[in-house]
Amino acid sequence: MTIRHHLSDQLLMAYAAGQLPEAFNLVVATHVSLCDECRARAGSFDAVGGALLEEAEEISMGEDALARALERIEGLPQATRSEPLKPAGIFPAPLADYVGGDLSAVRWRKVGGGVRQAILPTSKDATARLLYIPAGTAVPDHGHRGMELTLVLQGAFADENDRFGRGDIEIADEEMEHTPVALAGQDCICLAATDAPLRFRGLIPRLAQPLLRI
């Protein structure tokens, strides 16, 4: 598997800083599970956090803090190393965790044109969903609000700009107008996350909601 489309430095730094909405965290963690290059880059941003922590001014802990900590670990067994959970299907571990299993555990809902989706439970500052696009089918045209991340898990899609296969991530912003089409051969399954800014809440925006709930 050769991944050609990677996460941006901005997203990796925001992930390391703990500043991404939960839905974006999920997409980043899922991509990083498939991509050693981005795992290494994410590690380098974690190191920035480490350097900042080391340099941070100290704020004294309470007087009995150490005694309390020692008392606490007294009753705390150390975990022992276990074999990492390695899911057998197309979902890397963090995604399998959110879905509660593999592909068969997904509760799809039809959104028209053969396309199906499943919204995953995350905090409301952004939305994560799985998309199922039959081979050869176009994803209904949708404008982006804010940023949209799309990670391919199975099959491939192409738009006017490029081709995206398993592990590839597309980062689309508000300006980007595109019509992705799932390539022939295999149905395409993607994990997508979108910002859901507050200004889109309320009745009128809901009436105006595009086919794909965002």
Partner 1 sequence: MLDARDAAVTEQALPLPLGSVRFGSRQKKDGLLATTDDTDWADLLVKVRDHQDRAAFAALFRHFAPRVKAFLMKSGAGASLAEECAQDVMATLWQKAHLFDPARASVATWVYTIARNRRIDALRKARRAEPEELDWGPEPEPDQAEVMEAQEETERLGRALAALPAPQRTLIERAFYGELSHSEIAAETGLPLGTIKSRIRLALDKLRHQLG
Q: Which of residues 25-84 bind partner 1 (CB under 8 A)?
A: 25-26, 28-30, 32-33, 36-37, 39-62, 65-74, 76-81, 83-84
How far is 30 from 20, CA to CA, in rounded Å? 14
Rounded to a whole number of angstroms, the minimum distance from the CB of residue 142 to partner 1 is 20
Give me the residues paired with residue 188 across strands.
133
Q: With respect to partner 1, which residue has the nearer C-beta, 124 or 163? A: 124
Of the residues 5, 6, 98, 148, which one makes contact with partner 1 according to CB under 8 A = 98
Of the residues 1, 2, 63, 85, which one makes contact with partner 1 according to CB under 8 A = 85
Rounded to a whole number of angstroms, the minimum distance from the CB of residue 161 to partner 1 is 21
Helical (H) or strand (E) element with 121: none
Query: How far is Cα of residue 170 from the mean position of the Cα atoms in its chain?
Result: 11
How many residues in the shown chain lie near partner 1 by CB under 8 A? 77
* Stretch 8-27 residues interacting with partner 1 (CB under 8 A): 8-11, 13-14, 16-22, 24-26
Sheet holding 181-182, edge to edge: 163-164, 157-158, 181-182
Rounded to a whole number of angstroms, the minimum distance from the CB of residue 109 to partner 1 is 22
Q: With respect to partner 1, which residue has the nearer C-beta, 32 or 181? A: 32
Largest interatomic CA distance in the chain: 67
Amino acid at 117: Q
Rounded to a whole number of angstroms, the minimum distance from the CB of residue 174 to partner 1 is 10
How far is 116 from 96, CA to CA, in rounded Å? 18
Rounded to a whole number of angstroms, the distance between the first and last alpha carbons of the chain is: 30
Rounded to a whole number of angstroms, the minimum distance from the CB of residue 25 to partner 1 is 5
* Stretch 115-174 residues interacting with partner 1 (CB under 8 A): 122-123, 146-147
193 contacts partner 1 (rule: CB under 8 A): no
Q: With respect to partner 1, which residue has the nearer C-beta, 61 or 184? A: 61
Q: Position of tokens 């974006």?
A: 24
Rounded to a whole number of angstroms, the minimum distance from the CB of residue 88 to partner 1 is 13
Whether residue 8 contacts residue 171, with contact meaning beta carbons closer than 8 Å, is answered with yes
197 contacts partner 1 (rule: CB under 8 A): no
Q: CA-based Rg of the chain, rounded to a whole angstrom?
A: 20
- How do 163-164 and 157-158 pair as beta strands? antiparallel
